[in-house]
Every structure is written in structure tokens, then in C-alpha cells.
Chain A
Amino acid sequence: MSSLLLLFWSFLQVGAFSVGGGYAAMPLIENQVCHLHTWLSADEFAHLVTIAEMTPGPIAINSATFVGIQIAGLPGAIVATVGCVFPSCMIVMTLAYVYYRFRGLNMVQGILAGLRPAVVAMIASAGISLLILALYGERNLPSDFTHPDWISAAIFALAFIVLRVLKIKPLWVMAGSGVMGVILYAIF
């Protein structure tokens, strides 16, 4: 029972603070799930992100359901998802009321303008964590960083170039990297 409450409370925080869409929720989820509670290992979190990216639906909901099931089965999934959704419902309705009543959102715009760069920084940090995990198998840069997993590095570099330059959709890039992983790791 207490794990259900903890799940609810954790995802309540995720739902309350993830401003700007699913990617913004990810660093918060990582913080809750890997650092504050040891619910998922770093590898499992990376798998979560992968799966949440590749399945339909909002990324935050996907993550909440996945973590919920891993911790506490179906009730866990429901509790985590409701926790994630609840604060945003309240806040969005309040904002809508303020907006339609006062037709003014300058203060909110100001806060958002402040939040946006912070969110970008947080997403960058999550991305870098995942990169280090892919290259070195652990979350923090080892003191000897001259021996990364070269296959991972190659897949990352290729994927990044394909995304930035060719603007291929992430879904295909991830499927491609998975396939390349199977091939390259099997050979070497």
C-alpha cells in the first residue's frame, strides 16, 4: 500500500512540474525513479525511455504506466498515471479561468519564458546521462574515458547525424539503431 502512495506522490510531482511536454517530464522521472527511489536501474530507465518513445501516446503517460507496472502491477500503473494527470488538470483549468476572465497572461508568459531555458538544460542533462550510459555502461563518466563502447559511439554518431542533417523521424532512427546494434554486437 505504501508503495502505491509513494508512486502516486512521485508522479504527482512529475505531473506538477513537467512544463512543456513529455521531454520535460523525463528528467523529473529520472530523478524520482533512479535517484530518489531506487525503482529502476540506469539501464532499465534507458529501456523505459526507448519504449516510451516508440509507443503511441504521450510520453509522460507511457513512462508512468511502465514504472507503475514494474513497481506495483496494474494498480501501480493506474495510480502513477492518475498522479501524473491530476495536477495538470487542476492547473490547466485554473489557467483557463484566469485567461478567460482576465484576458491577461503576462505574468504566466514571464514565468514560462524563465522556465523554458531551464527545461532545455534539464533535457540536455538527461540526454547526456543516457549517452554516457550507452558509451560506458554507467551513469557517471569513468576516470578512464578513453575506452568507450565504440559500437555504441558509432551508432550514436550516425543516428545523430541522420537526425540533424537528414531530419529522419525519430521512430525510424531508433528502429535502425536497434537493428544496427543487433548486427554489430553479434559480429564483434
Chain B
Amino acid sequence: MEKPTLRALFLQMFTISACTFGGGFVIVTLMKKRLVEQRGWLSQSEMLDMTALAQSAPGPIAVNTAVLIGWHLHGLSGMFFAVLGCILPPMIILSVISLFYTAFAQNPYIALLLRGMQAGVAAVILDVTCSLGQDVLAKRQVLSTALLTCALALVLFCKISPILLLLLAALTGMLSALFHSKKGGSL
């Protein structure tokens, strides 16, 4: 497996990030295709490990993956250039758009367009929620389902702070893991 130069790493990350619409997971899939299958910079299993780790950490999954790939290939400078390549395209594009945003939003047709899109965005997010919710319920685990119900209730009716909710959920998960490990099995 040939090691790429820093420049090649940066360019790959840049082009992948610039061409993928639809969020982090699509980017990671494209990374898999280009870096593992087409260029052989990483093995399949290395990529799988990194994807799992990237999903386990907070933050944008594409950035996390870039961190791991960059570090693996070129240490600290690899990590820096991979992440830079990943975040530059959205920063550039979004900067341009938001500079025009104030002008945009005044235009009556754009305003109508955005109003229509608002309903569309709500639909997209609720669609994602349904898919994710189905995944959680499909596992048929009492704890997950109970957590989902409690979390929904807390969020909708008690307006709980998101960070507090996440900490409570993490604590519950941690206690559950400890409980299961006491019954047998490693930590």
C-alpha cells in the first residue's frame, strides 16, 4: 500500500468534501470508495475500525474520520491537512452564501422559496427521525425503548436542556454496561 503525500491527502479530502451532498455519512462512504478501493491507502478493515471509532466520538463524523485517516497516514501533520481538506469546502461555500443571505432573504421570491423549503426541511428531519427511531425499536431491547420514550417525554413536555439529557442518557448507558459486565463478560 503506497503512502500518499500530504498534498495528495489534502486534495482527496477537499474534493470528497466538496462533492458530497447530504451530510457526513455520505462523505465517509465516498472516502471508503476512493481511499480503500481505488487507491489502496487503507485496508478495508482499517477503514471499518475508523468508521466505528468516528461514530463513537462526538462531532461531525466526516471530520472524525479525516482525523483518524490523516493521523494513520502522516501523524500530526496528516491529521491537520486531512481535517483542513475536509472543512475548507463547506467553509468557503457557506461563507459566500451567508454573505449574500441578507440580500437573498429580502427578495420576495426567495422568501417564498425558503418558506416552501421550511415545510420540506421539517419533512426531511421527521423522516430521518422515523428511520432512526425504527432502528432503535427494531433492536427490541427494553432499555433502548424505555430510554427513547422517556427522552421523548422529557424533550417534548419538560423542555429539558439537550446537554443534560445526553449526560443522563450516557450515565444510564454506562450503568447498564457496568451491570451487564458484573453478570459476566469483560469491560
Contacts and interface: CB of A to CB of B under 8 A. Distances in A.
Interface residues of B, number: 96
B58 interface: yes
B8 interface: no
Contacts of B114: 46-47, 50, 178, 181
Contacts of B57: 19, 88, 91-92, 95
Interface string B3-43: 00000000000000111111111010000000000000000
Dominant secondary structure of chain A at its interface with chain B: helix
Interface in B141-185: 141, 143-145, 147-148, 151-152, 154-156, 161-163, 165-166, 168-174, 176-178, 180-181, 185
A47 B125 CA distance: 14
Contacts of A109: 177
A116 B136 contact: yes
Nearest to A153: B119
Q: Of B20, B90, B187, which is in contact with the most chain A CB atoms at under 10 Å from its CB?
A: B90
Interface residues of A, number: 103
Interface of B: 17-25, 27, 49-50, 53-64, 67-68, 71, 79, 83, 86-87, 89-91, 93-95, 97-99, 101, 105, 109, 112-130, 132-133, 136, 141, 143-145, 147-148, 151-152, 154-156, 161-163, 165-166, 168-174, 176-178, 180-181, 185-187
Listed from nearest, the 4 A-B pairs whose CB atoms lie closest are A181-B116, A114-B173, A88-B59, A110-B177
